[in-house]
Structure 1
């Protein structure tokens, strides 16, 4: 169920007020920080992978601690999955701006779309949970 025109106008007014009061915060909400977040997540996964290798090697060198090798392997596997999924989800440079230009030259439109999608998910969850 899409938002009514009144609800859309109210959200647009709130969005304009947010941009007027704190443009830096509004830009952060807009999704420009998503690329930074996913890049950081990939870097953390790479570091975790290296820690997993160290644990694996420690377990190989000291055979009485074979469980450390297993833990190291699991850490490596988990970090590899995190790195791959983070890398796939990362928007390409300029992708965020291109999406905003397609919506009439306003990057604020994408934030409005996300808010509307969240609202729709909540309504679907409430309707699904009640039946």
Structure 2
């Protein structure tokens, strides 16, 4: 369900105030978006999966690869299989720009953030106004 215009404006104000008060925290919370995996990444993940499957089968088939009856090679193969699938289906994280920095808030958001008192005092004032009515 999309946000109303009023809710979107309030969310923009909160975001810009967060950037104004603590830009380091805001950029760390913002994180990045996951991109779709490329064909090369899928192929690499499939190859790692196949190698892991081969290790899993070899670990079960050959007694020489077991330590005290524990199939160590099979466990390594399973971990490789799991890692290959995860690598193949996820894309790399992308921050806001090409340089890896988080995007700066728009000029409109910066104007709102610089306007007068702090974010917390504005939020407190809004809270008081809601309950006084």
Tell me the TM-score normalised to structure 1 length.
0.44
Structure with the greater alpha carbon radius of gyration: 2
- RCO comparison, higher one (Cα < 8 Å, 6+): 2
